[in-house]
Amino acid sequence: MIRTIRHITLWSALAASLAAFVYNAGALYGIHHDNDLIRQLISGKDVAVNKVISGEPELRLARAFYFKQKHRYDEALSTLSLIMDKGGRNFQAKARYNLGNLYLEQAIQQAKAMNINEAMPLAGLAKQAYRQSLALNSRDWDAKYNLEVAMRLLPEMDRVDMPDDEPTKQKSQLWTTVPGFPRGLP
Amino acid sequence: MRILLIMVLSLLGCSGSIDEPVSYFNVETPRPFGYVNGDEIPQRIIIETRSGISLQPGSLPAKGQINRWLNLNRVTVKQSGQRYQIDLLYQVFYAPLEVKSLTLPGFTVQLSQGEKSIGQSIPAWTFTLSPLRELVVRQSEQGEYMRPDSPPPLLANTQALYGLAASLSIAVLIAAYLGYLYGCYPNMPRRTVFKRALRKLAGLSKADMEQALTLVHQALNSLNGQPLFSNQLGDFYRRNPQYLQINAQLAWFFNYSNRYFFSDGMTVVAQDLQQLKELCEQCRKIERGSR
Distance between first and last Cα of chain A: 102
| pLDDT confidence tier of residue A167, bands split at 50, 70 and 90 | very low
Report pLDDT for A182. Answer: 47
The reply to whether residue B146 touches residue A104, judged by beta carbons under 8 angstroms, is yes
**To the nearest whole percent, how much of chain B has pLDDT over 70?**
90
Looking at CA atoms only, how far is residue A96 from chain B in angstroms? 10
pLDDT at A175 over 70: no
Report pLDDT for B1. Answer: 55
| pLDDT confidence tier of residue A161, bands split at 50, 70 and 90 | very low
The reply to whether residue B155 touches residue A101, judged by beta carbons under 8 angstroms, is no
Q: Is B176 on the interface with A (CB under 8 A)?
A: no
Domain assignments of chain B as residue spans, ordered by start: 20-132, 181-287
Classify B92 as helix, strand or coil: strand
d(CA B282, CA A86): 59
**Pick from B144, B167, B290: CB nearest A21:** B167
C-alpha pair distances (Å), B228 with each of B17, B236, B242, B251? 97, 8, 16, 12
d(CA B30, CA B42): 7
B250-257 long-range CB contacts below 8 Å, 24 or more apart? Answer: B250/B279, B252/B279, B253/B216, B253/B279, B254/B229, B254/B230, B255/B230, B256/B213, B257/B213, B257/B217
Classify A15 as helix, strand or coil: helix
Interface test with A, best of B134, B155, B246 (most A CBs within 10 A): B155
- Searching chain B, which residue's CA lies closest to the CA of residue A133? B38
pLDDT at A164 over 50: no
**Pick from A56, A94, A108: CB nearest B144:** A108
**Pick from B38, B67, B68: CB nearest A144:** B38
User: A95 versus A184: which is more confidently predicted?
Assistant: A95
pLDDT at A172 over 50: no
Residues with Cβ within 8 Å of residue B190, at least 6 apart in sequence: B222, B223
Report pLDDT for B2. Answer: 63
* DSSP strands (E only) in B3-124: 22-28, 35-36, 40-49, 54-55, 64-67, 70-80, 83-92, 100-104, 107-113, 116-122
Q: Which residues of B touch A151 (CB under 8 A)?
A: 37, 93-95
**Pick from B38, B98, B144: CB nearest A138:** B38
What residues of chain B score a pLDDT lower than 50? Answer: 14-17
- In the 8-state DSSP scheme, what is residue A137? -
Q: Which of residues 245-284 of B touch A (CB under 8 A)?
A: none
Q: Which of residues 182-241 of B touch A (CB under 8 A)?
A: none
Edge-to-edge, what's the strand order for the sheet holding B40-49? B22-28, B40-49, B83-92, B70-80, B64-67
pLDDT tens for each residue of A5-33: 888 999 999 999 999 999 999 999 999 99
Report pLDDT for A158. Answer: 45
Question: What fold characterizes domain A89-154?
Answer: Methane Monooxygenase Hydroxylase; Chain G, domain 1 (1.20.58)
pLDDT at A108 over 70: yes
The interface predicted TM-score of the complex, written ipTM, equals 0.73
Angle, in degrees to the nearest 10, between helices B209-224 and B247-262: 130
pLDDT tens for each residue of B207-260: 888 889 998 999 989 888 888 888 888 888 898 888 888 989 999 999 999 888
Looking at CA atoms only, how far is residue B49 from chain A in angstroms? 33
Q: Which of B71, B81, B78, B289 is nearest to B195 (CA)?
A: B289
Q: How many helices (H) and strands (E) does chain A have?
A: 10, 0
Strand B54-55 and strand B143-144: the pairing is unpaired
CB-neighbour burial class of residue B267 (10 A; exposed 0-12, middle 13-18, buried 19+): exposed
- Searching chain A, which residue's CA lies closest to the CA of residue B103? A167
d(CA B86, CA B57): 10
Interface test with B, best of A145, A161, A165 (most B CBs within 10 A): A145
How many beta-carbon contacts under 8 Å exist across A and B? 178
| pLDDT confidence tier of residue A3, bands split at 50, 70 and 90 | confident
Report pLDDT for B8. Answer: 54
The reply to whether residue A179 touches residue B135, judged by beta carbons under 8 angstroms, is yes
Q: Which residues of A touch B168 (CB under 8 A)?
A: 17, 21
The reply to whether residue A3 touches residue B289, judged by beta carbons under 8 angstroms, is yes
pLDDT at A129 over 90: yes
Q: Which residues of A touch B133 (CB under 8 A)?
A: 145, 148-149, 152
Classify B288 as helix, strand or coil: coil
Report pLDDT for B7. Answer: 59
**Pick from A24, A91, A134: CB nearest B164:** A24
Residues with Cβ within 8 Å of residue B111, at least 6 apart in sequence: B21, B22, B47, B49, B53, B54, B55, B56, B117, B118, B119, B120
Report pLDDT for A22. Answer: 95
Q: Which of residues 109-138 of B touch A (CB under 8 A)?
A: 131-133, 135, 137
Q: Which of B276, B196, B179, B287 is nearest to B243 (CA)?
A: B287
CB A107 within 8 A of CB A117: no
Domain assignments of chain A as residue spans, ordered by start: 28-83, 89-154
CB-neighbour burial class of residue B141 (10 A; exposed 0-12, middle 13-18, buried 19+): exposed
Question: What fold characterizes domain B20-132?
Answer: Immunoglobulin-like (2.60.40)
Mean pLDDT of chain A: 82
